[in-house]
Amino acid sequence: MADVKITVRPNGPYRVEGPFTLVDAEGKEWTLPEGKPWVSLCRCGASVNKPFCDGTHSKIGFQAAEAAVRAEEGSAGFDVKI
């Protein structure tokens, strides 16, 4: 199986690259844009094109939870292992 890469964009969407299937809560597959090697998934909840990002996060001043925690705690970052 080919690699799938998920990148958390700072105060923005999740960018998903590689071959994958996106399925909703009812098991229905989303149609992904043809010929596009990646998609960005909304994280702010304000996109009118959910589950895909439409850039609204930058208009509403979305601050991701991990950024808010880092700013409050004064931490330089964190590690996530899956």
Q: Flag whether 60 is in a domain.
A: yes
On the question of pLDDT at 82 being above 50, the answer is: no
On the question of pLDDT at 23 being above 60, the answer is: yes
CB contact at 8 A, 16 and 39:
yes
Average pLDDT over residues 1-30: 91
Average pLDDT over residues 71-78: 55
Close Cβ partners of 51 (under 8 Å, ≥ 6 residues apart): 22, 24, 30, 41, 42
Q: Flag whether 81 is in a domain.
A: no
CATH code for the domain of 22: 3.40.5.90
Tokens of 2: 């080919």
Query: Domain residues for 32?
Result: 5-73
Domains in the chain: how many in total? 1
3-state SS class at 40:
strand
Q: What values do phi and psi take at 52, rounded to 5?
A: -85, 150
Q: Flag whether 58 is in a domain.
A: yes
Average pLDDT over residues 35-47: 93
The reported pLDDT for the residue numbered 69 is 73
Q: Flag whether 79 is in a domain.
A: no
Tokens of 19: 């071959």
The reported pLDDT for the residue numbered 65 is 84
Q: Flag whether 31 is in a domain.
A: yes
Q: Flag whether 53 is in a domain.
A: yes
The reported pLDDT for the residue numbered 72 is 64
